[in-house]
Amino acid sequence: MLSMTGYGSARVKAGPGVIAIEARAVNHRFLDVRARLWGGLGDYAVVAEEVAKRLLERGRVEITGRMEGAAGGAVALDRERAASALSQLRALRDELAPGEALPLSLLTAVPDLFTAGAPVADDTMRGTVERAARQACEALLAMRRVEGDALAADLGARNARLMALGAEITTHTTVLVDKLRTRLRARITALLEGTGATLDGGRLEQEVAVLADRADVSEELTRLCSHCEQIAQLLAPGTQPVGRRLEFLLQEVGREINTLGSKVTELAVTRLVVDLKTELERMREQAQNVL
């Protein structure tokens, strides 16, 4: 199982500089990749996007990158231009303020005094951006796996809790008919007290049968167990992606739980249904993070 959130970064040398790429992923229904590269790398944003689309599934993925250091070769000084500028500055100094010191730092204001060496070739730069993006996305995937293992463990424990609660409800419903009969008999006896009328045992059993049929939740419990077993299979190692199937199964589990709550009004069962809903809600929240 993989988490939908993750982070990865990579740094790859490009000439005398370094291309730094970061990849972040958060929850999203589909795969939405957006790349923004700075420092002269804007033209290669589409390269990073293509890499992410090949390697990643679902989630909103943001790729950011920049060039650190120079993208070209070694910086060179234009000596002739520097000498000419310095000569003219000295002449101006001698005319306006003879004997005044003339710091070399004034040359830094001369435009185009320093020139960069040959830039990194386009094909080389494209390949370097692609390699950096791939490494960042692979690091993001590694983080997704780690978080996915934690999610699987949590969901597995909660799924086992659902099954245990379902088994408890089954235990309670096995004696439900006897409870309905006793309760109905006591109610009718109280109503007939002092009237001289007698309780019709046959009619009592008919009413008990009707109430028992309305409160029968065996089908709901069977489906609940089946859904939980399918969820357990999805959580098994190596099964992915599972997010959409997990969301569907949890939706079906919710239907069965709601039906259980509406059919059975026994206090003990009602409490168990509340516990079921609590665990289900927590599982739904976690499922939003599953790829």
Domain match, 132 and 185 both: no
Number of domains in the chain: 3
> Residue 171 falls within a domain, yes or no?
yes
pTM of the predicted structure, to 2 decimals: 0.68
What is the per-residue pLDDT across 221-274, written as a single tens digit (0 to 9) for each?
899 999 999 999 999 887 777 888 999 999 999 999 998 888 877 788 889 999
The predicted pLDDT at position 142 comes to: 95
Q: Check the CA dihedral 185-187-191-193 and report its sign.
A: positive
**233 with 161, same domain?**
yes
User: What's the pLDDT score for residue 267?
Assistant: 83
Judge whether 131 lies within some domain.
Answer: yes
220 pLDDT higher than 80: yes
Is 183 contained in some domain?
yes
Residue 1 lies in a domain: no
Question: With bands split at pLDDT 50, 70 and 90, how would you rate the model's confidence at 33?
Answer: very high
* Percent of the chain at pLDDT exceeding 70: 79
Residue 254, domain member (yes or no): yes
Candidate from 41-45, 78-82, 100-104, 207-211 with smallest mean pLDDT? 207-211
State residue 186's pLDDT score: 64
Pair 162, 207 in one domain: yes
Q: What is the domain extent for residue 176?
A: 147-287
Mean pLDDT of 46-61: 94
Per-residue pLDDT, averaged over 62-80, amounts to 75
Q: Are residues 265 and 282 both part of a single domain? A: yes
Answer yes or no: do 102 and 32 share one domain: no
